[in-house]
Amino acid sequence: MNGNVAVMGASAIPIGRHQSDPNGPLQTLEHEILAKLVVQAARDAHIEKDDIGGLVFTSPRTYTRQKYLHTFMANYLRLPCDGTVMEVMGNGMTAALAFDEAANQIRLGRAKVVLALGINMESAISSTEHAMSSMRATGDIDFHATAGFIPISWYAMDATRYMYQYGATREQIASVAVKNRYHASLNPLAQYRKPISLEDVLAQRPIVEPLGLYEVPPRGDGAACIVLASEEVARSTGRPYALLRGRGFHHEGAHQISEVPNDMIEFNAAVRAGAAAYREAGIEARDIDIAEVYAPCTIVEVIVSEALGFFARGEGAAAAAAKETTLGGRIPISTSGGLTSRGHPALVTSLYNVVELVDQLLNRAGERQVTDARWGLTTGELGNYNAALVHVLEAIR
């Protein structure tokens, strides 16, 4: 391994509807969006085009118009690289893996500057087609898919079990959605920015009991680009940067929901990955100033906040209701608005988490700035937390 990895800059488009009707006369082209983001991110990082030595892309949706996107983009950008040019895929963990691999390229000495980037286009595809594709991608086709068992279904079971086991209330869990929408109202990249009340959340139609419309992620398009570099390069600019201090990963050897009886609301993978990241960074959970977590539903944010050590088991929902995870609280979580309000273009979601951490750690998050934020944490997920990837960053100003 070769030195430390810095995050120097980032860019992203607002999450929402960007994809064109597949049958329309004009098309929004993925490579045109990404090319602009590369230029913006390089400018943000104060690097030149010739500095870039590697490109790690998130694999695009199957219905993305341009296939073999990573090598197409290398050509479109006229960007020869000695480091890797590749795509990665891991369902909801895809973007976290792209960030991870970009960091690895620098650690291995294969490049001094590497971009982690990608685009997720899905809003113009019918809900039926998208749901069928998602079920085949996230579940066992002989069990989950044939029963129409979507990811929200197992998160709903988590919520039911959590309320039964710990006596948490529906209102406490729903308060996460209110908090996330408040944070999103301060974020220009967020898909939904109109504040909502607890009454609004509870009044929405159910998606899968007990989770309602505002407690599950919307569909949307997104694209983001992160600039990673050796600390030597980052230091040479004379500008602030975020240093990657810790990394942890664990896969339970299970696909989504395991048929082997286990503690379904412990999120063991996040417990182990988080502990490994803290050890490498030389810190503890209490040192984290801000966390951007991969939490598709309100209950997931509650349980992962416990798995990462911010709260004892069974206390996450009450803590959220007491505003301990809101801006100004003890440990602000999802200051971007989270997946329920910022949006969830799944294959690039964790890149948006990094974008938020960069803004926070470089003290440029505006109205949602966490005061004196030094340590930040971000997570990626693969299924019902059968696998988790955690990164810890430190502000260097």
Given a contact cutoff of 8 angstroms between Cβ atoms, the answer to whether 225 and 11 are in contact is yes
Amino acid letter, residue 69: L
Residue 182, pLDDT score: 98
Residue 148, pLDDT score: 67
Give the percent of the chain with pLDDT over 90: 79
Higher pLDDT, 23 or 342: 342
Residue 279: pLDDT band by 50, 70, 90 thresholds?
very high
Average of pLDDT values for 149-165? 90
Residue 125, pLDDT score: 78
Return the exposure string of 189-219: e unless at least 16 CB atoms fall within 10 Å of the residue's CB, then b.
Answer: bbbbbeebeeebbeebeebbebbbebbbbbb
Give the percent of the chain with pLDDT over 70: 95
Can you give the residue ranges of every domain in the chain? 5-125+220-236
Residue 67, pLDDT score: 80
Average of pLDDT values for 354-372? 97
Residue 262, pLDDT score: 81
Q: How far apart are CA 73 and CA 75, in angstroms?
A: 5
Residue 71, pLDDT score: 94
Phi, psi (rounded to 5 degrees) for 244 = -75, 110
Residue 123, pLDDT score: 84
Residue 375, pLDDT score: 98
pLDDT of 147 > 70? The answer is no
Residue 264, pLDDT score: 85
Q: What is the mean pLDDT of the chain?
A: 93
pLDDT of 383 > 70? The answer is no
Residue matched to tokens 């509650």: 302
Residue 1, pLDDT score: 44
Residue 129, pLDDT score: 76
Residue 385, pLDDT score: 76
Strands (E), the chain: 5-12, 54-58, 85-88, 113-120, 206-208, 211-212, 222-230, 241-251, 290-292, 375-381, 387-396
Residue 238, pLDDT score: 95
Residue 8, pLDDT score: 97
94 exposure class (CB count in 10 Å sphere: 0-12, 13-18, 19+):
buried
Phi, psi (rounded to 5 degrees) for 209 = -55, 135
pLDDT of 65 > 80? The answer is no
Given a contact cutoff of 8 angstroms between Cβ atoms, the answer to whether 333 and 307 are in contact is no
Average of pLDDT values for 288-312? 97
Residue 86, pLDDT score: 97
Residue 144, pLDDT score: 65
Look up the CATH superfamily of 5-125+220-236. Answer: Thiolase/Chalcone synthase (3.40.47.10)
Q: How far apart are CA 361 and CA 284, in angstroms?
A: 18
Residue 20: pLDDT band by 50, 70, 90 thresholds?
confident
Residue 321, pLDDT score: 98
**214: its two tokens:** 């505002």
Average of pLDDT values for 140-148? 68
Average of pLDDT values for 353-371? 97
Q: What is the pLDDT of residues 8-18, one digit of tens each?
A: 999 999 999 99
Higher pLDDT, 24 or 200: 200
Q: How far apart are CA 285 and CA 372, in angstroms?
A: 17
Residue 2, pLDDT score: 55
Given a contact cutoff of 8 angstroms between Cβ atoms, the answer to whether 218 and 207 are in contact is no
Q: How far apart are CA 388 and CA 269, in angstroms?
A: 5
Residue 261: pLDDT band by 50, 70, 90 thresholds?
confident
Q: What is the pLDDT of residues 204-256, one digit of tens each?
A: 999 999 999 999 999 999 999 999 999 999 999 999 999 999 999 999 888 77
Residue 26, pLDDT score: 79
Ramachandran bin of 268, using left for φ above 0, alpha for ψ from -120 to 50, beta for the remaining angles: alpha
